[in-house]
Copies of this chain bind each other. A is one copy, B any other.
Amino acid sequence: MARRSLKLAGREIEEPEDGDAAAVELISLSDIVGYALRRAQMAVFEDFGRRFAALNLSPAQYSTLATIGDNPGRKQSEISAALGIQRPNFVVLMDELERRGLAERTRSGDDRRSNALALTASGVELLKRARALQGEQEAAVEAILGGEERKTLVAALRKLAREI
Per-residue interface assignment for chain A, residues 119 to 147, with 1 indicating a CB less than 8 Å from any chain B CB and 0 otherwise? 11101000000010010011011001100
Give CA–CA (A159, B37) in the complex, Å: 11
Main secondary structure of the interface of A (DSSP, over half): helix
Please state if A24 and B71 are interface contacts (CB–CB under 8 Å): yes
Of A39, A44, A121, A163, most buried by chain B (CB within 10 Å of CB) is: A44
Please state if A134 and B67 are interface contacts (CB–CB under 8 Å): no
Chain A residues with a Cβ under 8 A of chain B: 4, 6, 8-11, 13-16, 21, 24-45, 47-48, 59, 63, 66-67, 69-75, 78-79, 81-84, 103-104, 106, 109-110, 116-121, 123, 131, 134, 137-138, 140-141, 144-145, 149-150, 152-154, 156-164
